[in-house]
Structure 1
Amino acid sequence: MTSKSRLALPVACYVVLLVSALQTLVVPVVADIRTALDVSVSAASWVVTANLLAAAVFTPMLGRLGDLYGRRPVMLGVLAVVLLGSILAATTSDLPLLLVGRVAQAASFGLFPLAIGVLREELPPQRLTGAMALVSGMLSVGAGFGLVVTGLLMRNGGDYHELFWLATALTAIGLAGAWQLPRRAGAAAGRLDWAGAALLGLGLVLLILPLEEGNGWGWGSARVLGSLAAAVVVLVAFVLLERRVTHPLVSTRMLSHRPIVVANAAGLFLGFAMFAVFLAVSALVQTPREVAGYGFGASVLAASLVYLLPGTAGGVLTAPLGGRLVARFGAKATLVIAAVLACAGFAMLAVLHAATWEVIVGALIVNTAVTFGYAALPALLIAHVAPAETGIANSVNSISRSVGMSLGTAFVVTMMTRNAIPGPVPLPREAQFVTVFVVGAVLAAIAAAVVAGALPRVRPEPLTVAEVEADEVLGAAGLEVAGPQAGAGPLSEEVPAR
């Protein structure tokens, strides 16, 4: 390896850590942003939602651009956009401009598939699987890092702008690191489906917007019904367009095969569960008990370090365990286990949330379920699609997870703004949180039943843990994974043949 190739692993680890840190930095401070900008709860929540919606569109686009033009230049472009977005967010006190900054930061989601692609190009086969597992673990480390830093910076009522200045500095470091990577030509031919990306983005905004604003607009209002109807029209137009273009953003064939539909529905639920528990627990523990009759009056520091960090930090341990479950019992069984765990975690939070340990354990169980589910999805997909379609299938599943995160955010915000307790600062009633957790438990039970009943029985392939970990990382990144029918090939291009 050249000296620049040796930088591939540390740079990949850093930029993936940056992805998840940018994702979690703002979660505990949504309430602070709302107060500082004097906007409604639903308006402030777009600081999270806009980022996730943009990520659903950007991720497959950026992965495709990396294939066409090379990973290094696309990675540099992404980091430059994220840097500008972070500076904008750090210097503005205007919500629309802040949202523009958060949309620009959403380009960071494309760094994960780009980083994995760099590893496949630069590392020898014997080092690739371990390197990808290490980079994947940075997602959990980065999420925990984001929560810790947020808590520390905001511990004495700090200014949320400091978080975006930190994001600016971290992004600048990533940009300097990516500049040192080797230059490689693009490995694919064709073009990017810009029209499909525009329609997908518009359709998702029209779908999520009325769900976020339904309480204020009125659920039977013309704006809500008109937006939902327009979303249907735009998304149908997107599907029709994707059927006609040579290089679609999303293959519509992936939307009709039953096992893939089930896998995408499971990804949708897992994304929903992840952000529903993040936002609901953060809001619950920061609610003052003396005013609302429940909650802990926790500071942002306590919400970040005491209540949310155990669930994200636990991913460092539970992610490898998820891989072992897939290797031992198969993807379908692991996904059922994940759904049952999520049901148990949400049910516990619905019934038990009066003590600190109850909230911590409930959130930890749900986060563990999400980790197991994310480990199972790539293996589930490769068992039901041809080897040539695994990259497309995982890209569609990545979009499903991002949309699920957006829906989870919208649902929590809708519940938090309904029937509020009157006061200088309206607070949600305890029943609203219970409803969020009950809905999460019900959806998890439905997911378990659907996965168990709708997926055909597949005889598990004799996989090693290393193979499962490689499939998990590649699949989560929306990249191509070798299927059971794939012939043996160099590990730098494919994971080991089955």
Structure 2
Amino acid sequence: MTRSATTPRPDAAPETAKTVSTGLIIVVLAFCGTLVSLQQTLVLPLLPDFPNILNTSSENASWLVTITLLTGAVGTPIVSRLADMFGKRLMLVVCLVSVIIGSALGSISDSLMLVIVARGLTGIGTSLVPVGISIMRDHLPSDRVGSGVALMSATLGIGGAVGMPLAGVIYQNFDWQALFLVSGGFAVVMLVLVMLVVPESTVKTKGRFDYTGAVLLSIALTCFLLAVSKAGTWGFMDRKTVSLLVIAALVLCAWVPLQLRQGQPLVDIRTSLRRTVLLTNTASVLIGLAMFANFLTSAQQVQMPAETGYGFGLSVIETGLVMLPSGILMVAMSPVAAWLIRVHGPRIVLIGGAVVMALGFVLRAFLHGSVLEVMVASGITSLGTALAFAAMPTLIMRSVPITETASANGLNTLVRALGTSSASAMVAAIFAAMSMDGMPAVPRWEAYQLVFWIGAAASLIGALIAAFIARPQTIAEALRVPGEVVATERHEVKRPEAENEVVVGGVVTDERDRPIKQAVVTVLQTDGRHVDWGRTDNAGRYTLALPSAGRYLVVVSADGWGPMSGLEDLGDADLDQIRMNRRLLLTGHITDHGDPLPQVMLSLIRHSGEYVATTHADTEGGYEIGLPPPGRYVLTVVDHPTGRTRSRAVQIGSTSATLDLDIVTGIPRPRRQPTEDVPVR
């Protein structure tokens, strides 16, 4: 078993707190989030002019937005996984360097291809958000984690609001390439601040990077996002669109089984299928769709000509100023969102945020007589977005192993990106299908109303999905951030402050020292409160993060094995190799008219037909088969000398079982054997 060096947390280590202000860490990471949203919106006002600037077509110019979406979506899960493995600050630096190189290239390029490459490099910066949120969990005092996560989520809104008027001002007074100089300069400042302010985390999961999984996921995401983003231009039933979607589906069908077989997958499918993680990510797609639909329709509605009956003919700069209050509101709501999460829990805040978003969309369908009405209705939707976006990372981090927070947040960021890209395609398709007569570039008001009702429906469905997220019921299920006041269904409980967060690791094997993969090792406080958990890889290795050295309850479980538990002193001394020594078995005797029938063959298959195991009885007719996962099975006995066979249905549970069977009468006599916990050592 290996163990990393002890890492002090800032809320308990005076020397660290004196060196780096936790408030400064929050500000620096929040500005990283602002940089991400700024990169995504900075070129939007110039899209109509880029065909003339770069001497190309409008379709080719749209790649300046598409490529950023693609590289951001593809890079996020990869960078997030690397952050968990090799260091979160290191990957922040990598992302910022990529933005700087892309900005420098864009500032000196005047050809379409080079500018597309430049925008692709800047798109890698999207990973700054999930990695930054994970750094907050590792380094901030426990009472500041919620407010830090909420603020970083909110900066996505203000960056988008500032990007449009800023781009307009720069373009009107300077050359278009100055846009890249401004974003690159911002990235340089952030790189310096990250190097000076943000400490490196030692909460790492060493191992082998899943290159095959990364390549397959990149192909699938590229095909899917390319089809979605270009469907408005190509057509949803175009051969290219359909082909890309089919390729994405086929690659995903190969990728998912690969991830399930990998000991250290790029994306832990098993963890992602846990109830809270799965439902949060599903709701994130819908809420991401609603958020971006609100942003797109707000910006376009106020720019539409007044002759349309609903537009106000505002310029790009005026449009940005109109949207700026919504971005500021999102930032102002961040401490409120953090407080609500502490008091009521992230599940309630996610539901409430989604409901507020739906209310904002309903108001948008009726309030459109003035710019102020549009601002108010759009602002209410943005307020709900701030609440929902603050709650989602919190739910994710409290439902995954501590050593996998970056990759889990990366997946959540990815699914939100899928929602935003779907919103862009949806809005484009609706506006194109419901344009005014003789004005194909101008949608009718009914098109906006349809988008508003779709946004309201998506928000409400997201709230409904969030309602099924598991609620904490007991202290043992209380949330995991040390020192935080946690809302449960019955009362609040304050977790003890962590003094020295440490990372411990070990290996789980059988009696013959063969590794047991996909075993689950869980650590709890001695009073039953949950600390962390981890799943072993194909070599039987696991990694856990603990708030401090001390005595903990360790529980180990694996399919086909009896669970083990024990009280262990962790953090100051190595944890011995955990040997699981009680294999769960299906056993029994085969008889012939009551007499033992030796050497017969037995085969076990699932009720649905999948093969499980084959064995032979001993000289006394006895047999044993490793207990498969619970379910319905068929046990078949074959006596080759006489050609006789007999099959019986078997219902397997989670404990060892005995089934005696007579090959002539076929009478089964099942017996259940109780199991006991065995100490870890």
Give the TM-score, by structure 1 length.
0.81
Alignment CA distance shift 1:239-1:288 (3 Å): same
| More helix, by proportion | 1
After superposition, give the CA deviation of every residue in 1:187-216 in whole Å (9 maximum; x if it has no partner): 431133233222222212222333333344
Q: Which residue of 1 aligns with 2:319?
A: 303
How far residue 171 of structure 1 moved from its aligned partner, in angstroms, is 1.9
Partner in structure 1 of residue 10 of structure 2 = none
Q: Which residue of 2 aligns with 1:218?
A: 235
> How many residue pairs are counted as aligned between the two chains?
476
Q: 1:139 to 1:432 in 2, by over 3 A?
A: closer
**Counterpart in the other structure of 2:209:** 192
1:413 Cα shift?
2.7
Note the 1:13-92 alignment, pairs <5 A.
13-33=30-50, 36=53, 44-92=61-109
Select which of 441, 448, 464 maps to 2:456: 441
Q: Does 1:168 align with 2:194?
A: no
Structure 2, unpaired ranges of 5+: 1-14, 487-502, 504-522, 533-545, 550-681
Q: How far 1:169 moved relative to its partner?
A: 1.8
Tell me if structure 2 keeps the 8 A contact 1:76–1:178. yes
CA, structure 1 residues 76+190, in 2 after alignment: closer, same or farther (shift >3 Å)? same
Contact 1:42 1:413 in 2 (8 A): no
TM-aligned CA deviation for residue 367 of structure 1? 1.3
Q: 1:287 to 1:174 in 2, by over 3 A?
A: same
Separation of aligned partners in 2, 1:489 and 1:303: 48
The question of whether the paired residues in 1 share the 8 Å contact of 2:47 and 2:61 is answered with yes
Residues 352-405 of structure 1, C-alpha deviations (whole Å, 9 max, x = no match): 323211211121111111111122223434565566665554332222112222
* Larger Rg over CA atoms: 2
Q: Which runs of 5+ in 1 are unaligned?
A: 470-479, 492-498
Q: Specify the code of the residue in structure 1 equivalent to 2:236.
A: W
Q: Can you list the C-alpha shifts for 1:311-351, whole angstroms capped at 9, x where unaligned?
A: 11111221222222223333332222122111111222233
- Distance in 2 (CA, whole Å) between partners of 1:127 and 1:212 is 38
| Structure 1 residue 105, shift from structure 2 partner | 0.9
Q: Which one-letter code corresponds to 1:402 in the other structure?
A: A
Map Cα deviations across residues 457-492 of structure 1 (whole Å, 9 max, x no partner).
4438778998389xxxxxxxxxx9x9961177259x
Higher relative contact order (CA 8 A, sep 6+): 1
Matched-pair contact (CA < 8 Å) for 1:239–1:252: yes
The equivalent of 1:6 in structure 2 is: 20
Structure 1, residues 51-97: CA drift from partner, whole Å, max 9, x if none?
23322332232233334444454333322211121133334454444
The equivalent of 2:267 in structure 1 is 250
Aligned to 1:374: 389
Which of 432, 450, 454 is the aligned partner of 2:447?
432
> Are 2:419 and 1:361 aligned?
no
- Counterpart CA distance in 2 for 1:416 and 1:98 is 28
Partner of 2:364 in structure 1? 349
- Quick check: 2:30–2:155 contact (8 Å CA) kept in 1? yes
Task: Name the structure 2 match of 1:485.
Answer: 530
Q: 1:256 to 1:368 in 2, by over 3 A?
A: same
Output aligned runs, 1:386-401, within 5 Å. Answer: 392-401=407-416
Cα distance in 1 for partners of 2:370, 2:292 equals 22
1:262 to 270, 274, 279: 279
* CA-atom RMSD in angstroms: 3.8
Higher relative strand content: 2
Tell me which residue corresponds to 2:537.
none
Percent identical pairs in the alignment equals: 32
Name the aligned partner's letter for residue 404 of structure 1: G
Q: Report what 2:659 is aligned to.
A: none
- Structure 1: how far apart are the matches of 2:31 and 2:283? 29
Q: Matches of 2:255 and 2:419 in 1, distance apart?
A: 19
CA deviation profile, 1:141-200 (whole Å, cap 9, x unmatched): 54454345234324x486543322211222222334445468859643113323322222
Amino acid at match of 1:489: P
Change (3 A) 1:430 1:110: same
Supply the distance in 2 between the matched residues of 1:321 and 1:81 (Cα, whole angstroms).
34
Instruction: Name the counterpart of 2:466.
Output: 451
Matches within 5 A, 1:276-287: 276-287=293-304
My pick for the range that moved more, 247-256 or 57-66, is: 57-66
Asked whether the 8 Å contact 1:18–1:170 carries over to 2, the reply is: yes
In structure 1, C-alpha distance between the alignment counterparts of 2:474 and 2:58, rounded to whole Å: 47
Give the structure 2 partner of residue 153 of structure 1: 170
Q: In 2, Cα distance between the equivalents of 1:59 and 1:213?
A: 21
Residues 379, 468 of structure 1: 8 Å contact kept: no
- TM-score between both structures, scaled by the size of structure 2: 0.61
In structure 2, give the amino acid aligned to 1:105. T
Q: 1:428 deviation in Å?
A: 3.0
Q: Distance in 2 between matches of 1:111 and 1:232?
A: 28
Deviation at 1:120, TM superposition (A): 6.7
**Worse-matched range after superposition: 131-140 or 98-107:** 131-140
Range with bigger deviation, 443-452 or 62-71: 62-71
Distance 2:227 2:339 in 1: 41
Question: Is 2:126 the counterpart of 1:109?
Answer: yes
Instruction: Give the corresponding residue for 1:331.
Output: 346
In terms of mean alpha carbon deviation, does 246-255 or 71-80 score higher?
71-80
Change (3 A) 1:347 1:131: closer
1:209 aligns with 226
